[in-house]
Amino acid sequence: MRLRHVLLPLVAVGVTVTAAIAADKDAKGVVAVRQNAMDANGAHVGAIKAILTEYPQAINLVVPQAEAIAAVALTVPDMFPKGSDQPPTNALPAVWEKPDEFKAAAQKVHDLAQKLADTAKGGDPKATLAAFGALGKEGCGGCHETFKKRTS
């Protein structure tokens, strides 16, 4: 029963993050690059969710998924150069108005994704679920709250 209380919010985070970051087929240039990079992160989130909720005996497979998210997070600020606010971007002006905060948010995603990878290496499903929840809520969700337009 306790596991259900942990899993249900994580599933909701994973579905929300994945659905909210679908690349726009009309995106061009750096906007297309970043939307596709975020789609890839969404796929990694989906894979992690499936591992933790449906195939926990393969917890070691969380590691490369989380490390991929961490690696992309380090490049996120470079995907938002000044002047790349053209449609169909979902980025809010705060990305360019508060570049230090944006960079810090990307670093937080990196740090939380790396913590998830490190936790998964330990093989503890409960701790890994908690780290996954933190990545979704404080990392991806925290950045999207301030720097991404709400879609849907």
Domain boundaries, the chain: 2-147
CB 85 within 8 A of CB 93: yes
Mean of all residue pLDDT scores within the chain:
88
Q: How far apart are CA 80 and CA 96, in angstroms?
A: 8
Q: How far apart are CA 115 and CA 120, in angstroms?
A: 8
- Higher-confidence residue of 7 and 133: namely 133
Q: What share of the chain is helix, strand, coil (3-state, %, to 5)?
A: 80, 0, 20
Residue 3 pLDDT > 80: no
Q: Which CATH architecture best describes the domain 2-147?
A: Up-down Bundle (1.20)
Residue 25 pLDDT level (bands cut at 50, 70, 90): confident
Residue 20 pLDDT level (bands cut at 50, 70, 90): very low
For residues 63-67, average pLDDT: 98
pLDDT given for residue 98 in this prediction: 97
CB 95 within 8 A of CB 141: no
**DSSP 3-state assignment of 98?**
coil
Residue 138 pLDDT level (bands cut at 50, 70, 90): very high
**DSSP 3-state assignment of 148?**
strand
pLDDT given for residue 23 in this prediction: 63
For residues 55-80, average pLDDT: 97
Residue 24 pLDDT level (bands cut at 50, 70, 90): confident
For residue range 97-117, what is the model confidence (pLDDT) as tens digits? 999 999 999 999 999 999 999
* % pLDDT > 70, the chain: 84
Q: How far apart are CA 122 and CA 27, in angstroms?
A: 40
